Amino acid sequence: MTPRFNALSVLVADMSASVDFYRICGLTFGDDQFPDGVEKAQHVESHVDGFRIMFDTHAVAQSFQPGWTPPASPNEGVSLAFDCGTPAEVDRVYAELTGAGHHGHLEPFDAFWGQRYASVADPDGNSVELYAALEV
C-alpha cells in the first residue's frame, strides 16, 4: 500500500486556548472529546473531509518521548491554511482572532496571486493562514 497523508498533529501548550482559536477558524470538536472539560483534554481531533487535524498537549509528547521539550520558537516553514470562502470572511475571521488577542502577522490584503490573504499566530505561535479567492 502506498502511504496516504491523512492527518496533521499540532502540539499545544494550552488545549482550551487552542480549541477556542481553531473553532474561530471553523474547526469543530465533538463534545464527547471533553468528558472532563476542554481544559483537561490531552488529545482532541477535528475531521475535515476525511482528513484529521490532531491536537496533543506537551504532556502527551513527553509521555512517549522521554526528554522531549517544547520548541524554543514556533515552527517556521509550516503553517495551517484555512479557505474562508470569501474575501469578507477573511477580514471577519482575522478581526475576530486579533480581537481575541491573537497576534496578526499580516493584515488582510489583496495578494497578486488572486487571493485575499492574512496570517495570524495561534496560541503557540504557529502561523495560520486565512485566504479566499478574490471576487472577479
CATH number of the domain within which 41 lies: 3.10.180.10
The answer as to whether 43 is a domain residue is: yes
Strand order, beta sheet including 127-133: 79-83, 127-133, 115-121, 104-110
pLDDT in tens, 24-81: 999 999 888 888 888 788 999 999 999 999 999 999 989 988 888 888 777 767 789 9
Percent of the chain with pLDDT over 90: 71
Q: 48 and 86 in one domain?
A: no
- Does 59 share its domain with 13? yes
pTM: 0.87
12 contacts 6 by C-beta, under 8 angstroms = no
Mean pLDDT value across the chain: 91
Question: Are residues 50 and 90 part of one domain?
Answer: no
Residue 73 lies in a domain: no
Task: Examine residue 71 and state whether it is found in any structural domain, yes or no.
Answer: no
Domain containing 127: what range? 79-133
Confidence of residue 115 (pLDDT cuts 50, 70, 90): very high
Kindly state whether residues 35 and 83 are assigned to the same domain: no
Same domain, residue pair 21 and 60: yes
